[in-house]
Structure 1
Amino acid sequence: MDILKSLVVDLPEDVKKYVMYGDFTRANELIDIYEKRNISDLLRKRLGYERHVMNIIKEEYIYSSEEALKMCCEKIKDFSREELEDLKDERFADWVYIDGKVMFHKRFLNTILAVCPKMASRIIEENKDENAKKKQQLLDNVVNEIIEKGYKSYFIHVKTGIKLNKEVVRKGEKIRVHLPIPKPCKQIKNIKIISTNPSGGFIAPEDCDQRTVYFEKDVEGEEEFTVEYSYENSMEYNNLDASNLSQKQPDFYTDELPPHIVFTPFLRDLANKIVGDETNPIIKARKIYDYITTNVQYSYVRPYAGIVNIPEYAAYNLKGDCGVQALLFITLCRICKIPARWQSGLYVNPYFIGCHDWAQFYIEPYGWVFADLSFGGSAHRKGNTKRWNFYFGNLDPFRMVANSDFQGDFMPSKNFFRVDPYDNQVGEAEYLDRGLSAKEFRSIMKIVDIHEI
């Protein structure tokens, strides 16, 4: 989208002050004034985009300090107000100001329970998730087998989609829907689109950067838009040897891609600090991987549409989710002349299905290999060195790849703001006069069958 290019422009000082304070009413009033002035087209677009971001922030940061404290006390033994303040400072509890009051992210508690080590022994486990234990055991077994045998392959059959919420149903009006579907790549083959609802959707070509099935129809009610598909995921083990390199390394996928993959002075300085005088591309990539997995704390964050520069956000704040970490890795690799690119879609195993992002980097003679920063970081936190090393160069076979590039376009294109303008893992919907926000539809993700082949 053209408007995304405006993110390289800063906000006027007075607008920025109100945005930081969370006085979005006053910020919008000031934007009205600026839009009547003789300003550049780029700044005009930037101000318009900021209106969109403020709406996202209000939807994402929904818990007051008192509500957050109560939630923590219900899940963590002997929890105190002082500890909540400490968790804010330690980047475990994401927050912003809204109307001058501290408001916590809607998934702040998930981050604390999942990744804060000092809280682990105090969690009140009312219903222990046995599937979570099985998932971790399965992952360890699969990683071990890939390393030992060199290969692992799974057949995966799922049904995904979205369902409109009752309050946004506009009967008789045309709606346009894009749902992500798998695309062929190094690890994905034998894709079959089994069925769609409604039938007859347009299936994007296999080489589309962000592949979807597209529907356009008149709304009849709280209907579902779904796609059922199967594919095979086959993973071969990559044992990267820094002494086994081709003399000539490629330079594709080493360019900037504004507004996020940008070689800012700050990121150049960080890359230089991490890599130093090293010239071997495998060692350089490993140093970047190690830095991120040992320093950037996993954290649920606002939608990416609400972050001006994602890699800098990760590097400045030393926190971020799977995609934020992956994008920092990609950017630092490109600064260091190592080809790197995005991959994302779903993580699907017999016990779980959900959205996930990771990275690829290219080394001759190995070709495209993988880096999963969040899975690697999780393994490092748990002291699982074998798994930490595995996710530098490798992936497990529990992935569905829908997106092979960041900031890719749909086919056909979407007319209004996407919920995620950079990636697509759940789906997007719009009427002829506006796009639907994330809270206006529910995602559908069902595992039909998964088995080893």
Structure 2
Amino acid sequence: MCAWAGASLPEVIAQVDRGAFASADAQIDAALHDAALGDATRQDFVFQRERMRRMRLDFTLDADAAKAQLRRQIPDLRDAEFARWDAAGLIEHLDIDGQRRYFKRAPSNLFRISAEARARRAPDAPLPTDGPFETLGPHHEEIVAAARASGATSVVPRRVEVTQSLVVKADAVPAGKTVRAWIPYPRAIAGQQEDIQWIASTPTGARIAPESALQRTAYLERTAVAGTPTAFQIRYTVTVYARHIPIDPAKVLPTPKDPALQPFLAERAPHVLFTPALRAFSQRVVGTETHPYRIAQKLFDAVDQIPWAGAREYATISNISDYALHAGHADCGQQTLLLIALLRLNGIPARWQSGMVYADDAVGYNNLHDWGALYLAPYGWMPMDVTTGRLDSPQPALRDFYFGGLDAYRIAFNDDFQQPPQPAKQHFRSDTVDSQRGEVEWDGGNLYFDQWNYDFQSHVVPLEATR
């Protein structure tokens, strides 16, 4: 039998990206009827069908619904005003088979990416709020002072007790069937997070992935009961250190020819690719600069200028760094992947980290967050958080805090992206890139994010309490 000669997988991916779902679905159907198609490629085609289903869950609004949401904060919104913002790409949309659909978070995102829209809000409309460490505060000053006084790069540790839970909605899985859950769990990283102590899980019998797992999880199983949510929970403690690495640009050297650094200089499809658009953007930002530190600063500042906005699910985006380059906004993981791609393109090793940020108990804050690290010789790996970016301070150590530093209120679950869970999943992941909320499945398939909820609770305790 001759191999099927229809549309290639990249062509189908491109069709899905531009909203040509009917055409993509027909091409997928034709591909799946080819007996000569390899198993891996067959699954790749099947996933594109699943990706379209997930994209429909992200792009739920028609124009009337999007306008209705905006009118909650701009009561006198004009249709022409909406059309102008839409044409400028400020209200994220996708034309699915000719029908315009808006991203469900596009109305709220508009106020983050458009000063004009913010100015049009009703006086009593609540403003978007930032996390407790996204603006300069006493904790940043505490870290810089402690690092200067001690000469250490890991300072002001915090001990935190964590409870993470994942609850599958009632009857999402037939009664009597086994539900399998993966809950993110940290690995020890010297000088960043140490002394991880397991407390308990519900149900008992959790299988914790080895320290070598770059997206580490605790795996649990439970039998579904009719009419009852299926709940999983883990508890542990960990000591988290703030980081502050003062860099003297005059001492920075070219990247050494170290084989261990090569993976962090390479492209990695599909989300870190040196596309022509990426190269052109890099050239505009970097120009003729050749010094690694100044190149890294230029790229950091350029990506920092991209407005933060709530993100589509990562598994629906075919190339996240390219999306961040063109969308006009990006969330933390999208910004980080773009910066990683740009740094690697310019010969500066860069890698990923992600997990959860939180605060002292009185603040009552937690959020998913992604950040990264870059390598500058002779200093080695140094942390970076381009989403928080530059802080508002005339003091370079504080202004540049997140270019070589981290606060002590974040737990890293992941030291890389696109890493397989342990034990392996049988079905598609809900998040094919990151691992912060968890994953769930049963024999009948994956359980997507609309079928379960997650929770993260932290309690900061005195270090002396654990001695």
Instruction: Give the shorter-chain TM-score range.
Output: 0.7 to 0.9
In structure 2, do the counterparts of structure 1 residues 75 and 248 end up closer, same or farther at CA, with 3 Å as the change threshold? closer
Q: 1:58 aligns with which of 53, 56, 59?
A: 56
Q: Does 1:140 align with 2:145?
A: no
Per-residue CA deviation, residues 227-274 of structure 1 (Å, 9 max, x unaligned), is: 112212111322222102246635402122222222233323332332
| SS of aligned partner of 2:71 | helix
- CA RMSD in angstroms comes to 3.0
Aligned residue in 2 for 1:3: none
- Asked if 1:370 is matched to 2:355, the reply is no
Establish whether residue 249 from structure 1 lines up as the match of residue 246 from structure 2: no
1:248 & 1:30 partners in 2: Cα distance?
45
Amino acid of the structure 1 residue aligned with 2:252: L
2:73 and 2:125 in contact (8 A); partners too: no
Structure 2 equivalent of residue 224 of structure 1? 231
Query: Match for 1:28: what amino acid?
Result: D
Contact 1:416–1:435, Cα closer than 8 Å, also in 2:
yes
Note if contact 1:161-1:427 (Cα within 8 Å) is conserved in structure 2: no
CA contact (8 A) 2:9 2:45 kept: no
2:288 is the alignment partner of 1:284: no
Aligned-pair CA distance for 1:126: 5.7
- Segment of structure 1 superposing worse, 101-110 or 423-432: 101-110
* SS in structure 1 of the partner of residue 11 of structure 2: coil
Partner of 2:427: 416
Aligned to 2:246: 239
1: CA distance between counterparts of 2:348 and 2:69? 44
Shift of 1:138: 7.9
CA distance in 1, matches of 2:256, 2:206: 42
Q: Distance in 1 between matches of 2:59 and 2:131?
A: 32
Whole-Å Cα distance in 2 between the matches of residues 336 and 230 of structure 1? 39
Distance 1:400 1:64, change over 3 A: same
* Aligned residue among 70, 77, 84 for 1:86: 84
SS at 1:216 equivalent: strand
Q: Which amino acid aligns with 1:158?
A: V
Equivalent residue, structure 2, for 1:266 = 277
Distance 2:97 2:396 in 1: 45
> Residue in 2 aligned with 1:4?
none
Q: Secondary structure at the match of 2:61?
A: strand
1:103-252 residue pairs with structure 2 within 5 A? 103-124=101-122, 132=129, 135=132, 140-150=137-147, 151-185=155-189, 186-220=191-225, 221-246=228-253, 249=256, 251=258, 252=261
Per-residue deviation, residues 193-224 of structure 1 (Å, max 9, x unmatched): 22211111001112210010001232233121
Bigger shift: residues 212-221 or 136-145: 136-145
Q: Deviations over 1:92-149 (max 9, x none)?
A: 422112342222212223322344333335444768699x589369852212222333
Matched, 1:317 2:292: no
- Report the alpha carbon displacement of residue 441 of structure 1 after superposing the two structures with TM: 0.4
Deviation per CA, 1:28-48, whole angstroms, max 9, x where unpaired? 234213433588647645432
Match of 1:70 among 53, 65, 68: 68
CA distance in 1, matches of 2:394, 2:18: 38
SS of match in other structure, 2:432: coil
Preserved contact between residue 158 and residue 460 of structure 2 (Cα < 8 Å): no
Matched residues in 1 for 2:122 and 2:282: separation? Answer: 41
- 332, 351, 354: which is aligned to 2:342? 332
Aligned partner letter, 1:340:
A
Map of 1:29 onto structure 2: 26
Greater fraction helix: 1
- Picking from 374, 390, 396, the partner of 1:361 is 374
Q: Match of 2:270, SS?
A: coil
Matched AA of 2:370? D
Shift of 1:300: 2.0
Counterparts of 1:316 and 1:206 in 2: how far apart (Å)? 37
Separation in 2, partners of 1:328, 1:292: 8
Find the aligned partners of 2:18 and 2:394 in 1 and give their Cα distance.
38
Counterpart of 2:77 in structure 1: which amino acid? Answer: F
Using the TM superposition, name which of 281-290 and 186-195 deviates more.
186-195
Q: Does 1:346 align with 2:356?
A: yes
CA positional deviation for 1:372: 1.2
* Unaligned stretches of 5+ residues in structure 1: 1-7
Cα distance change of structure 1 residues 87 and 389 upon mapping to structure 2, 3 Å threshold: farther
Percent identical pairs in the alignment equals: 27
- The 8 Å contact of residues 376 and 387 in structure 1, kept in 2 or not, is answered as no
Taking the aligned partners of 1:384 and 1:163, their CA distance within structure 2 comes to 46
Counterpart position of 2:5: none
Deviates more, 1:195-204 or 1:309-318: 309-318
Structure-2 separation of matches of 1:107 and 1:451:
39
Q: State the secondary structure of the residue aligned to 1:327.
A: helix
Quick one: structure 1 residues 357 and 134, their matched pair in 2 at CA, closer, same or farther if it must change by over 3 Å?
closer
1:154, CA displacement in angstroms?
Answer: 1.9
CA shift at 1:152, angstroms? 2.9
- CA deviation after TM superposition for structure 1 residue 450, in Å: 5.5
Name 1:435's counterpart in structure 2: 446
SS at match of 1:315: helix
- Where structure 2 has 5 or more consecutive residues not aligned to the other structure, the ranges are 1-7, 148-154
Match of 1:449 in 2: 460
Alignment deviations for residues 338-383 of structure 1 (CA, whole Å, 9 cap, x no partner)? 1110000101113311111011101122221122121117x58x99
Instruction: Rate the CA distance shift 1:82–1:387 in 2: closer, same or farther, 3 A.
Output: farther
